[in-house]
Each structure stands twice: as structure tokens, then as C-alpha cells.
Amino acid sequence: MFLSLVSGSSGNCSLISDGKTTLLVDCGLSAKKLEEALLKAKVNPCDISAMLITHEHSDHIKGAGIVSRKYNLPVFATLKTHEYMDLGKIDNRNIKYITPDIDFEIGTIGVRPFSIPHDAADPVGYNFFMGEKKLSLATDIGNMTDDLMDSLKGSLAVLLESNHDVDMLKNGRYPAVLKRRILSDIGHLSNIDAAKTVLELVKSGTKHIMLGHLSNENNTPTAAYTTTKQYLEENGVILDKDATLSVAARFEVSCFR
């Protein structure tokens, strides 16, 4: 099971499960909203084994401290991310440190964090290994580097950022300084750059793509989906035959097609 529980600038949280071990990636929503989402996904919050954090921005950690305390969940993050994020007081035994490119296991799921280019202390994405299956999550990406692409290739399914339409952003009402931040190499991935990434992933064998972390102000689900769909089709990819494509909903549980 690989689900997006919520996705976007207002909050992010995903769920990975092999039926034995269940993991949360980020917790950018309240404990109440998380429980409502888990109920829709038919997941008991008491069955969650751990929480993994990508970086310290509030749309990724809003409810992390409360959820950790309520369900006694270990929180895995890099040393710098732990230093910069405010989770309140959580049990010292639940503070777990990770290092990019160093593999570890949580229950029956293998995990490999990898560095991503974003304006945070030490942000990461994640590979998950369940038997021979590799699943990956990568959002908050300023630009798609060769190392990052290598980390994603070989994944059966990828949740990938498709944050903004460049023209919508440039012509929108954001202040110039925020526009520059989003467009920078440590900002967010645009629709067209996501489309180019998806093409390379499909060529490498990825079968399922979910576009996520869409801006509410500078993007729409239709724009994100259409940009990638058209780019894939222009390059000979037949959707639903070569690969599936979907978009993570902002406030609803979304599953891969």
C-alpha cells in the first residue's frame, strides 16, 4: 500500500505499508485530520510503526510531535532536521537519526533516505524496499539532479512533486522574493520539469506515477496532469499501458492507479 493522505502547500503526509509494517512519511496535518484520513484508508493508527520526516517545514511536521506522543511513535529524521524542527517534548527513545544514502530497516520495510535540493536544513526523499519492490517519494525539489534521478530510477511507483505552472507563478500575485525562491534550484519542481522527470522514470521501468505537492495558488490538478500527459505522449509513452499517471488530492486520500 502506497497512499497520499494529504498533499500540497497546506500539508503533506503519505503512508507506506506491506501489510506487516506501516510507516508515515511526514505529518503536516493535525492528529484529528490524520485519524480521519487513516479511517478512510482503513488503517488503524495503532498499527503505525514509525514516522519519517523529509524536512522541517511546517507543511510536513505540523502534527508530528502530537502524533508521536499520542501513539508513541519513533520519529526518523536527519540530525539537522531534528535540530531545526519543533516537535515539542517527545520521548528521547523516539528520536531517531538517519543519514542520507545509509540504508536501515523498520520492521519488514527497508528504507534509504537520499538528499534533495531544497531550502531546508538537510532535506531528504525516501526509497522503500518491500521484497523486490522499490517505491519512492520525492517532493520539495528545487531541481532534478543526476544523483536524485539515480535514486528514483528502478522504482515501481514514485510520488513526485509537480508544484507549479511556471507562467501561473510568474504572472501570479506572489511577491517577487517568493517567486524567486520557488523558481530557484532549492525551491520547487515545476510541472514541465516533473514531466521530463517522469519520462526518464518510465523509460527506466517505473509503472506508476503520482504527482504531488501542488501549489494551490500557482497550479491546478488539471494543469499538472495535462503537462505530464502531453509530454509523455509526445515522446511515445502510452498511458495506462506503459505507465499510470495520477495526481494526489490536496485534502483527500489518494492511491496510485
Given pLDDT bands bounded at 50, 70 and 90, which one contains residue 4? very high
For the 2-255 domain, the top CATH level (class) is alpha beta
Mean confidence (pLDDT) of the chain: 96
Query: Phi/psi zone of residue 8: left (φ > 0), alpha (ψ -120 to 50 degrees), beta?
Result: left
Within the chain, residue ranges assigned H as helices are: 31-40, 58-61, 64-71, 79-84, 146-152, 166-171, 176-183, 191-203, 221-234
Q: Where are the domains of the chain?
A: 2-255
Q: Mean pLDDT throughout 14-35?
A: 96
Q: Mean pLDDT throughout 164-185?
A: 95
Residue 9: the pLDDT is 87
pLDDT-above-90 percentage for the chain: 98
Would you state the cell numbers that stand for residue 138, as one nine-digit string? 520525492
Cα–chain center distance at 35 = 19
Full DSSP string of 42-82: T--GGGEEEEE-S---HHHHTTHHHHHHHHT--EEEEHHHH
Residue 125: the pLDDT is 98
